[in-house]
């Protein structure tokens, strides 16, 4: 069939949005195949998929990927600063707030006596709702991202940060 202006459609009109938004560390990851306003019977409560799409810029998606890939699923800002060298720590902080605002992650701040300004005070982790949303859309596979994360060269200072005690989180309590 000959293509005419009436039959020609853009790729966006023919299929859901599938845009690769991540850098070369995560080459095979795409956004969920939904459009803003799409509804699913099993939508995760508390998370609006269209808000998630709006919130996940390339940098923010890389931060989420680093959280998923972290050996304990709960990196500190210091660790995120190392894995995102092109971003200032203040920018990482802004991105973390934006990601937290759409309920993809939560943070826990631990009072380490005498270390009030230490970046090890704050730890970031995926919410259960985010994990469900990602699993439903085949995004941020933990095994794949942990494999990639392990390949990142970590200086001794960052390895020490990775090995630092972290709070344990369950549905109702935080234990330090």
Distance CA 153, CA 27 (A): 18
**Does the pLDDT at position 132 exceed 50?**
yes
126, 105 Cβ separation under 8 angstroms: yes
Q: Quick check: is 75 in a domain? A: yes
DSSP tag of 172: S
Model confidence, pTM: 0.69
The pLDDT value given to residue 70: 96
Q: Quick check: is 98 in a domain? A: yes
- Counted domains in the chain: 1
Residue 125, number of CB atoms within 10 A of its CB: 21
pLDDT tens digits, residue range 8-60? 333 223 333 333 334 445 444 433 444 444 444 445 566 777 778 777 889 99
Q: Quick check: is 169 in a domain? A: no
Distance CA 109, CA 94 (A): 16
Range of 88's domain?
21-29+47-150
| pLDDT > 90 fraction of the chain, expressed in percent and rounded | 48
Q: Quick check: is 172 in a domain? A: no
């Amino acid at each position: 069939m000959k293509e005419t202006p009436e039959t020609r459609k853009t790729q966006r009109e023919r299929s859901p949005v599938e845009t690769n938004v991540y850098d070369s560390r995560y080459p095979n990851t795409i956004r969920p195949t939904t459009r803003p306003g799409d509804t699913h019977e099993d939508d995760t409560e508390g998370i609006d998929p269209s808000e998630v799409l709006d919130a996940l810029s390339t940098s923010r998606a890389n931060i989420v990927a680093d959280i998923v890939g972290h050996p304990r699923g709960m990196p500190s800002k210091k660790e995120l600063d190392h894995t995102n060298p092109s971003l200032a720590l203040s920018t990482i902080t802004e991105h973390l707030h934006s990601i937290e605002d759409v309920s993809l992650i939560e943070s826990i701040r631990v009072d380490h006596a005498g270390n009030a300004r230490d970046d090890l005070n704050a730890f970031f982790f995926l919410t259960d709702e985010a994990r469900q949303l990602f699993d439903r859309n085949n995004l941020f596979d933990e095994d794949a991202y942990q494999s990639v994360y392990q390949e990142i060269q970590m200086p001794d200072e960052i390895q020490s940060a990775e090995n630092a005690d972290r709070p344990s989180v369950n549905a109702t309590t935080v234990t330090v």
